[in-house]
Amino acid sequence: MPQPARPAVEAAGLTKAYGRTTVLDGVGLSVAPGTVFALLGPNGAGKTTTVRILATLLRADAGSARVAGFDVAAERSRVRRAISLTGQYAALDEQQTGAENLRMVARLSGLSRPAARRRAAELLERFALAGDAADRRVGTYSGGMRRRLDLAAGLVGDPSVIFLDEPTTGLDPRSRQAVWDEVRRLADAGVTVFLTTQYLEEADRLADRIALLDGGKLVAEGTAAELKQQVSAERLDLTLVSPEAYEEAAHALDHLTVRRDPATRTLGVTTDGRAAHIRDLLDAVDPDRTLIERFALHSATLDDVFLKVTRDG
């Protein structure tokens, strides 16, 4: 029988603290090669710290990790040769053109001048930055163009693992879609993509596997479908007639609530989607039919999962 492939990224018991503030608290994870893994969490959850440890830019206080088969503490140079890291902000020289940026990175990676020129041309074409865009100063680029060039720069050395730390933050929908398309192409080509994001739709669309990080701890992990099943198959949104009715319903349905919006007097509660269950819910919270203004049924989303597990955690 063939042996299962070794994880492209694996970590156990990662811990990091700054003074009395614990940023990571025993984080463990495993990422299969050639897949997209999304690490979700709010600001301050520990996502960037995790990436910095795995990319050898920061040492953990405790725990261990291997990336591309190499120990991130004992074999840092070998890890660095196997990976690429694209941060939240494009690391580009704005005074150089797009082509000059890529040629510079290629030369720093050890390519000869002719090889650097060829590699830059390949990547400019791949990321729709050839032609006039290639010869424009990066300072004139839009946010989407900068992000595409930054991704291209990260691929100069053909990494087997690429870390993308919130790569679409601040991008317009069209630019975000372009980045999503490229992430999927990378995974299809066998590259392992480790993605951190605050956009739950992004993880839902891209990731083969998702982990939720909150307060430095992993609070849930699985495929998007598995995580949604932890909440329910469906979500029933109830809009109440008044703030008082909202508070009354919120108290009665607290154990089922996954979303709360006092401003619109809307509660989202879990349901299996059956008509009988929905009728029972409505009758239980509003037997006199005077509190609920309207309701709507939706499929459960990763937003529901995140709000529930972080609240419960």
Q: What is the residue extent of each domain of the chain?
A: 9-222, 229-312
User: Do the domains 9-222 and 229-312 sit in the same CATH topology, yes or no?
Assistant: no
Instruction: Determine the Cα–Cα distance for residues 71 and 76; give it in Å rounded to an integer.
Output: 7
Contact 39, 23 (CB under 8 A): no
Fold of 9-222: Rossmann fold (3.40.50)
As a whole-number percent, the residues of the chain with pLDDT over 70 amount to: 94
As a whole-number percent, the residues of the chain with pLDDT over 90 amount to: 47
The CATH architecture that domain 229-312 belongs to is 2-Layer Sandwich (3.30)
User: In whole numbers, what is the pLDDT of the chain averaged over residues?
Assistant: 87
User: What's residue 58's pLDDT?
Assistant: 95
Instruction: Determine the Cα–Cα distance for residues 257 and 136; give it in Å rounded to an integer.
Output: 52
Two tokens, residue 175: 């630019």
In DSSP terms, which residues pair with 237 in a beta bridge? Answer: 268, 296
Say whether pTM exceeds 0.85.
Answer: no
Task: Give the position of tokens 């319903």.
Answer: 249
Computed on alpha carbons and rounded to an integer, the radius of gyration of the chain in Å comes to: 23
Q: What is the pLDDT of residues 153-207, one digit of tens each?
A: 888 888 999 999 888 877 788 888 888 888 888 889 899 999 998 777 888 889 9
| pLDDT of residue 1 exceeding 60 | no
How many CB atoms are closer than 10 A to CB 19? 5
